[in-house]
Amino acid sequence: MSKLPHIGTSIFTIMSKMATEYNAINLSQGFPNFPVDERLTDIVARLAKENVHQYLPMSGHPPLLSKIAAFIKNSYERIIQPETELLITAGATQAIFTTITALVETNDEVLILDPSYDCYEAPVLLSNANPVRVSLNDDYTPNWDRIEKACNSKTKMIIINNPHNPTGKILNKSDFEILESLLEKYSKIIVLSDEVYEYITFEQKHISAHSREKLLNRCVMVSSFGKSFHVTGWKVGYLVAPEHLMKEIKKVHQFLVFSVNSICQVAISEYLDLVSVNEIGNFYQKKRNYFRQLLKNSRFELMPCEGTYFQVASYASISDKNDVDFCKWLITDHGVAAIPISTFYADGKDLKLIRFCFAKDNATLEAAAKRLCAIQ
């Protein structure tokens, strides 16, 4: 008996493990391999000797809450009440799990747009609700006709991920306008907006759910310091929700984690006095450009990348293997690990596409590109 019979081990675990076994360059699971800012590690080293080792308040370290509220105001002109609308979570994964568990009821339907990141479906199933997968268009923009057709009186939530993992696509103003007019027809639907890469966008500015007046009262916005400060292993994120939703979310949060790692919260809070979350976009834009330049003479066709630290590439001119087998072959025969895009689709659609993570130091990107360019 299994509560999640169709859920296996995450593809990120599988590919990273295989990369280690074969000593391959790991561009699969999304995490940076360069050192964290020394100013941040110095803060942690100092804090380790101070009295910051006990439980913090359930919602989060109060100075950190205030600083998040300040940069949300600065980035999106949204004023939030830190005491009632903000919650520090153990990464975005826990924020998403907690939100779904708290708000989605038996037999509700939750719209998930494919290809989609992998952590949305399990909490829906564990809530005895039904995930409804709706494919994005071929260019990864939302197909609003299909989304509208999927809405009905049982629809409780729509999950959007912007900037989008794995495709690097970002939503535009008209997407939000259509979403908002759809929500006017369906008053029960709540939006869960996964914006963990909110500060990693390039040519176009990110439009956050925070900046959409009509969404504020029915949207839970999720973010993660793992992405913004290169500390994915710290698992510190946050969610913003209107008070009536937050009340329910906190009921679950207090019994799932109660409060999040104290040293990391205090360290991030102090670090926010030294840096700005807005610096990260430029940093990754240079990485993206460099990685694309390095692959220019390869036989991979690179898809557009508007945000995130992922580059999707087609290998259709190299092989007709399915993408899972192609990724395995890439590791065993060429020493580079990537993620097969079919694993982001409920129906495992194989489009001969794979995802590379370019959050790596230049030497790693150069070594990987050399191997990838050698594939004929």
Nearest-CB residue for ligand GLN: 30
Instruction: Select from ligand GLN, ligand PMP, none the partner in contact with residue 29, using the beta carbon and a kind-dependent cut-off of 5 to 8 Å.
Output: ligand GLN
345 binds ligand GLN (CB under 6 A): no
290 binds ligand GLN (CB under 6 A): no
Q: Which is nearer to ligand GLN, 101 or 116 (CB)?
A: 116
H/E/C letters for each residue in the chain?
CCCCCCCCCCHHHHHHHHHHHCCCEECCCCCCCCCCCHHHHHHHHHHHCCCCCCCCCCCCCHHHHHHHHHHHHHHHCCCCCHHHHEEEECHHHHHHHHHHHHHCCCCCEEEEEECCCCCCHHHHHHCCCEEEEEECCCCCCCCHHHHHHHCCCCEEEEEEECCCCCCCCCCCHHHHHHHHHHHHHCCCCEEEEECCCCCCECCCCCCCHHHCHHHHHHEEEEEEHHHHCCCHHHCCEEEECCHHHHHHHHHHHHHHCCCCCHHHHHHHHHHCCCCCHHHHHHHHHHHHHHHHHHCCCCCCEECCCCECCEEEEECCCCCCCCHHHHHHHHHHHHCEECEEHHHHCCCCCCCCEEEEECCCCHHHHHHHHHHHHCCC
Q: Which stretch binds ligand PMP (CB under 6 A): 74-82, 143-151, 232-240, 325-333?
A: 232-240
In the complex, minimum distance from the CB of residue 29 to ligand GLN, in angstroms, rounded to a whole number: 5
Q: Which stretch binds ligand PMP (CB under 6 A): 231-239, 261-269, 280-288, 299-307?
A: 231-239
Please compute, for residue 315, the number of CA atoms within 13 A of its CA located in the half-sphere on the CB side.
Answer: 27
223 binds ligand GLN (CB under 6 A): no
**x-marked contacts with ligand PMP along 19-58 as a string, rule CB under 6 A:** -----------x----------------------------
Instruction: Select from ligand GLN, ligand PMP, none the partner in contact with residue 224, using the beta carbon and a kind-dependent cut-off of 5 to 8 Å.
Output: ligand PMP
228 binds ligand GLN (CB under 6 A): no
142 binds ligand PMP (CB under 6 A): no
Rounded CA gap, 193 and 113, in Å?
Answer: 12
Task: With beta carbons less than 8 A apart as the criterion, state whether 368 and 361 touch.
Answer: no
144 binds ligand GLN (CB under 6 A): no
Q: Which stretch binds ligand PMP (CB under 6 A): 72-80, 90-98, 143-151, 319-327?
A: 90-98
Rounded CA gap, 283 and 281, in Å?
Answer: 5
82 binds ligand PMP (CB under 6 A): no
Nearest-CB residue for ligand PMP: 91
Q: Which is nearer to ligand GLN, 268 or 339 (CB)?
A: 339
Task: With beta carbons less than 8 A apart as the criterion, state whether 27 and 166 touch.
Answer: no
167 binds ligand PMP (CB under 6 A): no
16 binds ligand PMP (CB under 6 A): no
Instruction: Select from ligand PMP, ligand GLN, none the partner in contact with residue 12, using the beta carbon and a kind-dependent cut-off of 5 to 8 Å.
Output: ligand GLN
In the complex, minimum distance from the CB of residue 30 to ligand GLN, in angstroms, rounded to a whole number: 3
198 binds ligand PMP (CB under 6 A): no
**x-marked contacts with ligand GLN along 163-192 as a string, rule CB under 6 A:** --x---------------------------
Q: Which is nearer to ligand GLN, 32 or 142 (CB)?
A: 32
193 binds ligand PMP (CB under 6 A): no
162 binds ligand GLN (CB under 6 A): no
Amino acid at 209: A
30 binds ligand GLN (CB under 6 A): yes
Here the tokens at position 139 are: 């260019």
194 binds ligand PMP (CB under 6 A): yes
Angle, CA 25 vertex, CA 20 and CA 29 arms, to 5°: 75
Backbone angles phi, psi at 241, to 5 degrees: -145, 150
Applying CB under 6 A, the site for ligand PMP has a residue count of 15
Site for ligand PMP in 101-140 (CB under 6 A): 117, 119
Binding site for ligand GLN (CB under 6 A): 10, 12, 29-30, 165
